[in-house]
């Protein structure tokens, strides 16, 4: 059986963030019941700082370095990357 399809949705802190965040509910509605997993990754500056300086954080506050994970995903030949304008 093939792996389940997955969409990785990245959160950002740039000026078009409002437009980007408004697309997430549309994607959730569109993929509902399709078996496609929708996962959200925070690659904002704040998220990257939290991921790279976790020394004083509790385990619940720590987050993965999603930007590095994104760079690995970009090297996967089976991945489809869509960059919003």
Pairs from 29-38 (Cβ < 8 Å, separation ≥ 24): 31/7, 35/4, 35/5, 36/4, 36/5, 36/6, 36/7, 37/4, 37/5, 37/6, 37/7, 38/6, 38/7, 38/9
- Assigned token pair, 47: 């998220």
Over residues 25-77, the pLDDT tens digits come to 898 899 998 989 888 888 889 999 999 999 999 999 999 999 999 999 999 99
Q: Is 47 exposed, middle or buried (0-12, 13-18, 19+ CB in 10 A)?
A: buried
pLDDT digits (tens, 9 = 90+) for 19-31: 777 888 898 899 9
> Is a pLDDT exceeding 80 seen at residue 17?
no
pTM of the predicted structure, to 2 decimals: 0.75
């Amino acid at each position: 059986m093939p792996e389940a399809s997955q969409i990785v949705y990245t959160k950002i802190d740039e000026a078009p963030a409002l437009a980007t965040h408004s697309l997430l509910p549309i994607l959730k509605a569109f993929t509902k019941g399709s078996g496609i997993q929708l996962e959200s990754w925070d690659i904002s500056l704040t998220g990257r700082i939290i991921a790279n300086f976790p020394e004083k954080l509790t385990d619940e506050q720590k987050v993965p370095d999603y930007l590095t994970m994104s760079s690995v995903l970009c090297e996967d030949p089976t991945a489809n990357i869509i960059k919003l304008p």
